[in-house]
Structure 1
């Protein structure tokens, strides 16, 4: 038997074994596909409440035609309120010990999350200020004046 025929027969034998193995695999051995739409709850979002104690809530109602029967008819969502604090900014102080400061004074907002004043600190630039632009190197191109 020629070597080419032996390789071909071996290939066919392995192919038949693989097909038989796949065909004999039971359906329970395969990963189960889950349909996300089949087990989902869809809600219509309600309006957010006013902030109370740093939190606001929203009551959402179930969309019956697009949800599964085992969903809750309503759900309540709670989240933290962002403080409605507004400040006026003063000019930066002169640099002192490598640092400058700016005072912020509250103009709007109330409550413990809105401080009456805030001080912001920032590092001063290094002495000498910004670096000067690099000098351009002289061109090394030569021109033929006789042309």
Structure 2
């Protein structure tokens, strides 16, 4: 995820606020995978299916890891996505993960984690989401 320009990551982060305009921006600027990831994190089964169908398995696993699914976390580690594990941990308030992101110059991902955490803290959840 760190390969995306900061402007793109900022737009992704803002989809967790009043994000319709940022969703449109992601789509019109050819980042449908980030729009789908945002929707998946916000509970869309359709977005999760899109991620899987379009082979964005790491993003699908990131969504699962954010939801605390150990199988998704293990998949990320096995497939060499430790940054996604750290991001999921930061979303879930892990201080060590947040410090690691900050120490390794991933401030934008730290911002993304904070926006997702704030969104999740203000939501009720559908525990019937598709299982990774």
TM-score, normalized by the shorter chain, greater than 0.5? no
Q: Which has the higher contact order (CA 8 A, sep 6+)?
A: 2
By percentage of residues, which structure has more strand? Answer: 1
TM-score (norm 1): 0.16
By percentage of residues, which structure has more helix? Answer: 2
TM-score (norm 2): 0.17
